[in-house]
């Protein structure tokens, strides 16, 4: 596979994405809502509970935009592609059901030496009102595709405060979590097919990075937003290590006011790094 640097700057219409109440609930279950206590998150896991209005987990927005890189970037080898970075910004809470128009652009292609990092930006606009609902930025790392002489890119400064985390929240994805999460649209067989996982160097299929992202987003929503999606501004992470279904996740959060810094860990291994969360004033 040879990536095409000339594709940088390309914009494309990603079409429309429609979802229903059931899709929003399936996503919530896919990122662990209700798994530990079926009565704890009924606003996200049911549509007909007495005196409970259904709501949508903010990180559901990452399933609406983005997607695969354009064909002009080059032939994509799934066994060599890893999700490297992800951010999402919410402009207002997502409706329980709706349709968005997605527009995307290839924002950059960076030469990291051992591989290449392709960065895509997408916006999701409510088809009925024209209102911008969410924006996302996705970084995909292609192993063995570096060395083409391109710009390495830059990183924003990031460091946690010199104090223990203000919140540490532990959760454990199910052993079959990847099979459940893939029903929200990401059917990459790296997360279900032992043969492809072995070709990619893993002993067994790994958890979707965006599933770990969704677990972490739920923790942030409940820990620092009082479970109110309207207070969820946005979150960005770098994917640092793979997670296997069933491994315990611990989210370490440093609350800095309108901004929180966070890491997600499996034991002593950081799996989501350089986490930044923004909270909206209410």
Q: Which tokens in the block code for residue 176?
A: 């079959």
CA dist 160 and 168 (Å) reads 14
**Stated pTM of the model:** 0.92
Q: Would you please indicate which residues are annotated as catalytic (active-site) residues? A: 186, 191
CA dist 44 and 211 (Å) reads 16
What pLDDT score does 79 carry? 65
What pLDDT score does 263 carry? 98
CA dist 67 and 155 (Å) reads 23
CATH class, range 5-279: alpha beta
What pLDDT score does 67 carry? 61
- Helix boundaries (H) for 5-50: 21-30, 42-45
Q: Three-state SS for 166?
A: coil
Burial class (CB in 10 A: 0-12, 13-18, 19+), 76: middle
What pLDDT score does 187 carry? 92
What pLDDT score does 213 carry? 98
Q: Tens-of-pLDDT digits for all 282 residues of the chain?
A: 577 887 888 898 989 999 999 999 999 999 999 999 999 999 999 999 999 999 999 999 999 976 667 777 777 666 677 889 999 999 999 999 999 999 999 998 898 888 888 899 999 999 999 999 999 999 988 887 777 777 788 888 999 999 999 999 999 999 999 999 999 999 989 899 999 999 888 999 999 999 999 999 999 999 999 999 999 999 999 999 999 999 999 999 999 999 999 999 999 999 999 999 999 976
What pLDDT score does 150 carry? 76
Report the side by side order of strands in the sheet with 167-171.
Answer: 11-19, 98-111, 115-126, 132-143, 81-90, 232-239, 269-279, 259-266, 249-255, 167-171
- Report whether 228 contacts 258 (CB < 8 A): no
Angle CA(155)–CA(156)–CA(162) in degrees, nearest 5? 120
CA dist 78 and 162 (Å) reads 39
What pLDDT score does 66 carry? 64
């Amino acid at each position: 596979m040879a990536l095409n640097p000339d594709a940088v700057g390309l914009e494309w219409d990603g079409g429309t994405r429609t979802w229903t109440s059931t899709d929003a609930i399936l996503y919530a279950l896919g990122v662990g809502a209700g798994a530990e206590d079926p009565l704890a998150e009924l606003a996200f896991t049911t549509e007909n509970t007495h005196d409970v209005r259904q709501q949508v987990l903010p990180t559901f927005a990452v399933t609406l935009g983005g997607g695969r890189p354009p064909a002009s970037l080059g032939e994509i080898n799934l066994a060599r592609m890893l999700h490297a970075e992800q951010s999402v910004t919410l402009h207002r809470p997502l409706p329980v059901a709706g349709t968005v128009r997605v527009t995307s652009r290839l924002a950059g292609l960076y030469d990291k030496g051992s591989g290449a990092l392709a960065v895509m930006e997408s916006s999701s606009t409510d088809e009925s009102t024209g209102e911008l609902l969410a924006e996302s930025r996705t970084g995909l790392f292609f192993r063995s595709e570096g060395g083409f002489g391109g710009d390495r890119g830059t990183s924003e400064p990031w460091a946690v405060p010199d104090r223990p985390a203000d919140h540490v929240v532990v959760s454990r994805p199910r052993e079959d979590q990847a099979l459940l999460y893939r029903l929200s649209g990401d059917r990459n067989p790296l997360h279900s097919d032992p043969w492809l996982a072995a070709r990619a160097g893993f002993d067994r299929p790994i958890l979707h990075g965006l599933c770990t992202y969704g677990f972490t987003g739920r923790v942030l929503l409940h820990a620092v937003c009082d479970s109110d999606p309207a207070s969820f501004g946005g979150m960005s992470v770098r994917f640092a290590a793979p997670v296997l279904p069933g491994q315990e996740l611990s989210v370490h959060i440093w609350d800095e006011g309108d901004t929180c810094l966070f890491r997600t860990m499996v034991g002593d291994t950081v799996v989501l790094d350089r986490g930044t969360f923004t909270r909206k004033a209410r």
